[in-house]
Amino acid sequence: MKKMSLPPLVLDIRDGNVTWQRLDNLNYELLGYFLSCHLIIEHYLDEYLKTRYPELDWNASRQTFGQKVSLLATDNYPEKYNSIPAIKHLNSLRNKLSHNIDFKIGSVDLLPLSHYLKKCCGPEFEDPTEPKEILDLFTSMVCVWFASGISSTARQTRHTRG
């Protein structure tokens, strides 16, 4: 298959001349993986919030990701498992990506996610260094935490009805 490339960006317009910037060095695989991780976390977040607040009409309210995360902040989670600051950071990176085509995600950008992993996994935890590895483990840990809350609430609801 022929290599595809996006049109260049306008880098500068000065004295009647246009300088163009090619987009040759974008890591589409990492960008796609990052966005998939964000979407998966949002899916688990949605399901978790539905179990916590079943009286709300989630389809009608059309909450933003930030608003959903703010609902989490009303609960007191054990500090060891409090992923809210890292989830907020993940969302701020997603916002940067959506407004800056040339933004590149590096390990430094993911430090809040790495700090969360170190906090919840303990001092013997060996930090992943590659962005994709950090995203993979962070997404898994956050989703496992949400899944445990979803399962716990579902079991409690079953026992109170039966």
pLDDT of residue 146: 93
**Predicted structure pTM score:** 0.85
**Both tokens assigned to 154:** 């579902």
Nearest in space to 97 (alpha carbons), one of 21, 42, 30, 31: 31
DSSP H/E element including 78: none
**Both tokens assigned to 94:** 């997603």
pLDDT of residue 54: 86
Q: How far is residue 69's CA from residue 29's CA, in Å, rounded to a whole number?
A: 26
Q: What is the average pLDDT score of the chain? A: 88
pLDDT of residue 96: 93
pLDDT of residue 38: 97
Nearest in space to 20 (alpha carbons), one of 30, 28, 9: 9
Mean pLDDT split into 10-residue runs, the chain, 162 residues: 78 94 86 95 94 84 89 81 93 92 89 92 82 95 93 72 49
pLDDT of residue 136: 95
Q: How far is residue 100's CA from residue 97's CA, in Å, rounded to a whole number?
A: 5
pLDDT per position as a tens digit, 30-70: 999 999 999 999 999 999 999 988 888 887 888 899 999 99
DSSP state at residue 55: T
**Both tokens assigned to 62:** 């059309």
